[in-house]
Amino acid sequence: MSDVMTPEQRSRLMRRVGSKDTRPERVIRSLLHTLGYRFRLHRKDLPGTPDLVLPKYRTAIFVHGCFWHSHDCPKGARPQSNADFWGNKLDSNRRRDARVCVELQKRGWKVLTLWECQLSDTVALAALVNRELRGADDLDSR
Ligand SMILES: [Zn+2]
């Protein structure tokens, strides 16, 4: 993976590692702030009320819990007991996520889903975010 962070960004990021508030959305906010991105929170006028929105990049970010949104990772494993109940519930979450994504894309938004399990590796996450948003940036400058 290429290093898409400037040395300053990397060192600021490293200083933040170990910060106390590890709630997923806080982690992302802090990360975006460190990387110098401007964002808005919970735009209720957009489908699915994205957790974060970066108007400049026309990108909506969702920070998903692995269990509730059925991530393909160990934390996203479905419970063995009450399998039908959980299956229905989690499938309906999944369908809603997919619907919201399509609705946003129809309106010209790019959707970036970040997962709870990605948050512990802040450096990898920063690289991912930069890569995703720079892609959007390239589209803008065409
Ligand atoms: Zn996960």
CA 46 vs. chain centroid, Å, equals 16
For residue 94, how far is its CA from the centre of ligand 1 (angstroms)? 14
For residue 77, how far is its CA from the centre of ligand 1 (angstroms)? 9
Evaluate whether residue 113 is within a structural domain.
yes
Which pLDDT tens digits describe the chain residue by residue (142 residues)?
Answer: 456 677 777 777 766 655 555 688 888 999 999 999 999 988 889 999 999 999 999 999 999 999 999 999 999 999 999 999 999 999 999 999 999 999 999 999 999 999 999 998 989 999 999 999 986 444 444 4
Residue 19 and residue 67: Cα distance in Å, rounded? 24
Evaluate whether residue 30 is within a structural domain.
yes
pTM of this structure = 0.79
Evaluate whether residue 2 is within a structural domain.
no
Q: Can you say whether the dihedral through the CA atoms of 117, 97, 38, 131 is positive or negative?
A: positive
Evaluate whether residue 78 is within a structural domain.
yes
pLDDT at 9: 78
> Per the structure, how many domains does the chain have?
1
Evaluate whether residue 99 is within a structural domain.
yes
For residue 141, how far is its CA from the centre of ligand 1 (angstroms)? 33
Evaluate whether residue 133 is within a structural domain.
yes
State phi, psi for 107 to the nearest 5 degrees: -90, 10
Evaluate whether residue 1 is within a structural domain.
no
Instruction: Give the residue numbers spanning the domain of 128.
Output: 7-140
Evaluate whether residue 50 is within a structural domain.
yes
pLDDT at 48: 95
For residue 118, how far is its CA from the centre of ligand 1 (angstroms)? 7
For residue 89, how far is its CA from the centre of ligand 1 (angstroms)? 18
For residue 80, how far is its CA from the centre of ligand 1 (angstroms)? 18
pLDDT at 135: 67
The domain that holds 110 is classified in CATH as: 3.40.960.10
pLDDT at 5: 75
